[in-house]
Every structure is written in C-alpha cells, then in structure tokens.
Amino acid sequence: MPGGMVSLFAIASGMSVANVYYAQPLLDAIASDFAVGLGAIGGVITATQVGCALALVLLVPLGDRVDRRRLMVAQLLALVAALLLVALAPSTPALLAGMLAVGLLGTAMTQGLIAYAASAAPPGQQGRIVGAAQGGVFVGLLLARVVAGGISDVAGWRGVYVAAAVTMAALALPLWRRLPVLDPTGAARQSLAYPQLVASLFTLLRHDRVLQGRGMLALLMFAAFNIFWSALALQLSAPPFSMSHLAIGGFGLVGAMGAVAATRAGRWADAGRDQPATGLALALLFVAWWPLSQMESSLWALVAGIVLLDVGGQALHVTNQSLIFRDRTGDHSRLVGGYMLFYSVGSGVGALASTVTFAHAGWQGVCLLGAGVSAAAGLLWLRTSP
C-alpha cells in the first residue's frame, strides 16, 4: 500500500474519532450552559457511547456488504448534520440526541476506516497498516482535546462543533477521490441480507474466543481511559488549578507517544510477539495511576501518568485488533464492530462512574477506581493467556 494511502486512512480516522471526544474537556462549560450538576454531566459522554454501540451493531457491519467508499462518504455527510445539531441544541434532550448521533456516525466512520484499511492491506502487513491507522485515531483523540479547549476559550463550546462540521465537510472530496475501490467479494456481500449480516456479528461474539478475550481486555482498558479523561477537566477547572479549556486540552498532547506505541505494537503482532506486548501494555496501564494520584502536588506527575496510560492503552488496543484480524478475510467490519462493542460499553460505564466518583470521593477516589479497573484487566489476561 502506498504511503500516501496509509496516511489518508490515518488522517481520516483521526478526524472522524475527534468528533466523539470533543466534549471531554468541555464538560464543565456544557454543565453550566444547561444547568446540569457535575455528578450527572457524564451522561453527555454516556449518550455518545450509546451512539457508538448502536453504530457498531447497525452501521459498521455494512462495510462487509456494500461499497465501502460510498458508505464512508454517506456517513460523513450525515455526521456533519449531527455536529450542527449539537452546536445548535436548545435543550438538554436535544443535546443528548445530538451527542448520540455524533457517537453513532463518528464511530461508524472511524471503525469503518480501520476495517477498510485491514481489508486493503497486503498479506502480512495488517498489523503495520492497522497500527498506522490506529495511530491516526490516537493523534486525533489527543488533538480533539486541545482543539476543543482552544476554540471553546475563543468561541464557546458550541463553536467547537461548528468548526468540526466545517472540517469534516472538507474531508468528503479526498475520501471519494482517493480511497481504494475493493473488489466486492466475500460471503457477506454475496448472500447475507442486512438482518442476517447484523445477526452474524453476534454469532462471531458467541463463538470467536480471540474476539471474546481481547474484547474483555478492551472493555476494561477503555473504562480506565474514560475514568481518567472524564474527571480530568472537572479537577483542573476547579481551584486550586482553575485552568482554561485550552490548558486542560493541552495535557492530552503529552500522551502523543501512544501513537508511536500503536505503530510499534502492530509490528510486534505481525512478528508474533503479541503476548509480551500485551503484558507490558497492561503493566503500564496499572502503574500509571500512581503518578496520576500525585497530580495535586505536582503537575509533572500528571504528565508522567498520562504518558504511561496512553502508551499502555494504545499498545494494547492495536495488539488486540491485530490479533482479531489475523488470518481473516471477508468479515473485517463485523470483527471490528464486535470488538468495539466492548470498547463502547467500557467507555460509557467508565465515564459515568468517573463523574459520580469524582462528585462523591474527589480525585483520589477516581484514581483508586481507575487502578482497580486496570488491575482487573491484568488479572484477566494472566488467567486467560495461553
């Protein structure tokens, strides 16, 4: 695959996923605008994750049946409309509906592009190419927090979603002109009607042991991620820090090493070193919570914790995806849809648990919760690894 094509997959994946995460550093501003308590504002993230789950079941599997390029562009245009709905939301129900739609369409595009890249990758290079696309996702996730913080400080949180709509609209033409046209082969394209296609995703979940094991690791890992990121804005925006949204979003950039880890983990998986990569990633995920718990006395501890958390999490994520795609053809969209269902559940539960815990037990309670979830992921791997 030409380098330019790999870059397009990475950039488009990063731009798509960013829409799902713009809200995280803006939770305090959104709560103030709609007069929602801090204990309940995590529901905004949870609504987005409900949309993510629906996308994984109802939209992502379509990539195994219809022309992927047409599907990507259609979803992109619908995503632009959803972003504008959030920007113009007059009430809390409208906001939640818009966030659900953003989660639905942003996730459908992101995971559809990951599956697209895996299907287009030459044999033996899926780990590398999926790793590159996932690296783009990670950079997009990090920049989402910085961009959201910067634009919000100038134009308010609604301006973030107007800018996102304009940016996504500009991506439509490059996707249409440059994404590869794949030969429509495979059993799903030939014989499965849409209800059967959706049902076959759950068949994979029931019978694919690799998907089950790696999915549970993903559920716990993404719960830990969202426990941290959902509470961070609430902690840093309050005294004694009283930081701006731009400054809060800037902390996401210190985890940029996670993008490098994502690419390296994909190469390790291609070389058969997936178990050592998994063990190292889980160890980093757990250890990260100690420096994170010290942030009230040192922001350098926060920086160190973010690096450890993001490197461990992204390395685990790419290793998981490389393993579920290995030696498979014709069902990449359903595989990624099934895998990311675990992600969606973990992210939604983690976000809500985080804000509730923060409201009742503060930052130290959040760190204890995150460390417990990370430890559970490590114990699960030790119990189930060959």
Write the DSSP string, 152-191: HHHHHHHHHHHHHHHHHHHHHHHHHHHS------SHHHHH
Tokens for 267, please give them.
Answer: 């190469």
Structural domain span for residue 213: 3-384
Res 187: pLDDT? 43
Based on the structure, what is the number of domains in the chain?
1
Q: Which position has the token pair 């983690």?
A: 350
- Using CB atoms within 10 A of its CB, is residue 62 exposed (0-12), middle (13-18) or buried (19+)? buried
Res 101: pLDDT? 95
DSSP 3-state of 355? helix
Cβ–Cβ < 8 Å for 17, 110:
yes
Q: Helix and strand tally (H, E) in the chain?
A: 15, 0
Give the Cβ contact number of residue 102 at 10 Å: 25
Low-confidence ranges of the chain (pLDDT < 70): 1, 38-40, 124, 126, 183-192, 245, 249, 252, 255-267, 269-271, 327-331, 386
Res 162: pLDDT? 94
Give the Cβ contact number of residue 361 at 10 Å: 13
Res 248: pLDDT? 74
Q: Which amino acid is residue 342, in one-letter code?
A: F
Alpha-carbon distance of 62 to 194, in angstroms, equals 8
Alpha-carbon distance of 43 to 34, in angstroms, equals 13
Alpha-carbon distance of 120 to 51, in angstroms, equals 27
Res 259: pLDDT? 59
Res 139: pLDDT? 81
pTM, 2 dp: 0.74
Cβ-based neighbours of 2, under 8 Å, separated by 6 or more: none
Cβ–Cβ < 8 Å for 373, 346:
no
Cβ–Cβ < 8 Å for 44, 30:
yes
Give the Cβ contact number of residue 205 at 10 Å: 18
Cβ–Cβ < 8 Å for 105, 78:
yes
First to last CA, the chain: 33
- CATH number of the domain encompassing residue 70: 1.20.1250.20
Alpha-carbon distance of 301 to 256, in angstroms, equals 16
